[in-house]
Structure 1
Amino acid sequence: MRAELSKLLGLPTAWVGLALGLVAAPALVFVNTPGLRRALESERIADLGYENLGIGLLGALILGVVAVSSEYTSTGDDSPGAHQMTATLLAMPRRSRLLVAKGVALSLVVAVQGTLTASATMVLTQVMLPDYAPPFAPARIAAAVLYWTLLGLLAFATTLIFRNGIITLTVFIVNSSVVSVSYLLTKLTPWAAYLPDIVGAHMFLRSMPGETHIPPVTAGLVMTAWVAAFLVAAGFFFTRRSA
């Protein structure tokens, strides 16, 4: 696990994900405050501040993707077919143990990032909009951090299945920031609210769009089941491939 942490934190792209995840959400508080102050009325808004955490999820997604994609990147022009995974498997031939170490290392990094970002975002919201911000709730902060961690693991598992970080990252970013296919599906069937990226948000947001409202604990269990299924599938494919 120490080796996987060192590898993950040694990737320049991973630091891009860390910086984006740490800075983006708190920065939105400063950017949005003037317009929000004019628009808000004199009551507290349940999700004020928490909705800014959505953009920070991009950092968790990047970390989840590069934790795997970096292993399959060519090591140089002299040997385009060689990649880091070959050396990794030589050092740790037990693939199940390797996956556990990678998953734990990723979870630790994303959890620390999420805790710092969510706490800073909510504190800034209370400072900038003291009359409207919801009270600081450690349980909601923890739920948001868990959502970040689970999404990071979901990106990790998906990249491991397809062994292509560009496609995985593009799909996740487009779905989370440009047009959410999952949200569009909720217009067709309420069951789409149980897709992983939608149901996980119910863990800490209280005014989700749509008619389906899922209790936070139920949302957490469903999200965890999705991620567990993807991790099992990723482990199945990984243990049966040559590299």
Structure 2
Amino acid sequence: MRAFNAELSKLFSLPGIWLAFLIGAFSPAVIAALDSIAQKEVIIAGVSTRLSEVGYIGLALGVQGVIILGVLAVSSEYLSESSESGGGQQIATSLTVVSSRLHFLLSKAGAVSVISIMLSVVAMITTVSATYLVLGEYTPVFEWSKLLGAVCYWTFTALLAFGLTVLTKNGMIPLAVLIINTSFISFSYLLSKVTKLALYLPDRAGIDMFMTMSDSFHTPFIGGFVMFAWVVVLFIVAAIVFHRRDVAS
């Protein structure tokens, strides 16, 4: 528990964490508001074919905040300390305090999960509010089961970013790949046009937890299970690599 509290404290001390909070709290609301404005006329007319996606689209595309969170949690450990502190990396100090590398990773992953859940709840509040502000009485009902699915999607996404950064020791690669994939070009979506196996990729399966789209493939439970399985496998691989890695390398 002490290691977990220490990881929470370290995360809240990072300057970049506030950018993650700002993006995570408001980008889903902006996306949802813009989508609601675009659909408002057809929703009022009762002919919208995307009514089930209203609002939720912001929660699907606005996960950049938790991606930054997951990346920062690991990449900050590899930043060089000040010359007064010896010029080493934070990771060496962290592993001196917490000798078990697995315990260290679990504590850090737990801190990322808790903050991701908190941030997703804030994002849901701002997203629902923005959608209602645009659509008023025409706002569709937000189902609690789908909102819970969105919380899981955000948390699993943060943990995927966390695991990838453990493997690469570099924040730029996972940050670029994941942000591009979630906001500009969905590689999973493009691959799904070539092979149905792409529907089992984590981001594509995870969205089925809370969004009902024309090409939905999984039930919410199966989609969540598939994404969770990816998180578990990636964490196991990252833990093995981290255990064998020379921290100073």
Decide which of 1, 18, 27 is 1:24's aligned counterpart: 27
Residues 119-144 of structure 1 show CA distances to partners (whole Å, capped at 9, x for unaligned) of 33124323431344321211111110
CA displacement, residues 23-65 of structure 1 (integer Å, 9 cap, x when unaligned):
1112334444433223433257111110011332000100000
Whether the 8 Å contact between 1:43 and 1:131 is mirrored in structure 2 is no
CA RMSD, aligned part only? 1.9
Match of 1:229 in 2: 233
Q: Write the mapping of 1:124-163 to structure 2, written as runs, cut at 5 A.
A: 124-163=130-169
8 Å Cα contact 2:53-2:211 kept in structure 1: yes
Give the counterpart of 1:35 among 25, 35, 38. 38
Post-superposition offset of 1:76: 3.6
Gaps of 5+ in 1: none
Which shows bigger deviation, 179-188 or 225-234? 179-188
| Aligned-partner residue type, residue 38 of structure 1 | E
Alignment match of 1:3 (pick from 1, 6, 9): 6
The 5 A counterparts of 1:1-243 are: 1-40=4-43, 41-42=45-46, 45-76=51-82, 82-208=88-214, 210=215, 213-243=217-247
Partner Cα distance (1:236, 1:148) in 2: 25
Paired residue secondary structure (1:135) = coil
Structure 2 Cα separation of the partners of residues 91 and 34 of structure 1: 52
Moved more, 54-63 or 37-46: 37-46
For residues 206-229 of structure 1, what are the alpha-carbon distances to aligned partners after superposition, in whole Å with 9 as ceiling and x for unaligned?
A: 015x3x521000001111000000
1: CA distance between counterparts of 2:85 and 2:173? 24
State the distance in 1 between where 2:93 and 2:191 align. 42
Matched residue of 2:52: which SS? coil
Mark the runs of 5 or more structure 2 residues left unpaired by the alignment.
none
Q: How far apart are residue 78 of structure 1 and its match?
A: 7.7
Which digits, 9 at most, give the CA deviation of each residue in 1:51-103, with x for residues without a partner?
01133200010000000000001224688962100110111111111111101
Contact 1:115 1:142 in 2 (8 A): no
| CA drift at 1:3 | 0.5
Confirm or deny: 8 A CA contact 1:73 1:83 kept in the other structure.
yes
Aligned-partner residue type, residue 72 of structure 2: V
Size of the aligned set, in residue pairs, is 241
Task: State how far apart, in whole Å, the 2-side matches of 1:30 and 1:148 are.
Answer: 19
Q: Which residue identity is paired with 1:36?
A: Q
With over 3 angstroms needed to count, the CA separation of the structure-2 counterparts of 1:204 and 1:30, relative to structure 1, is: closer
Instruction: Name the TM-score, length of structure 1 as normaliser.
Output: 0.92
Contact 1:42–1:132 (CA under 8 A) maintained in structure 2 = no
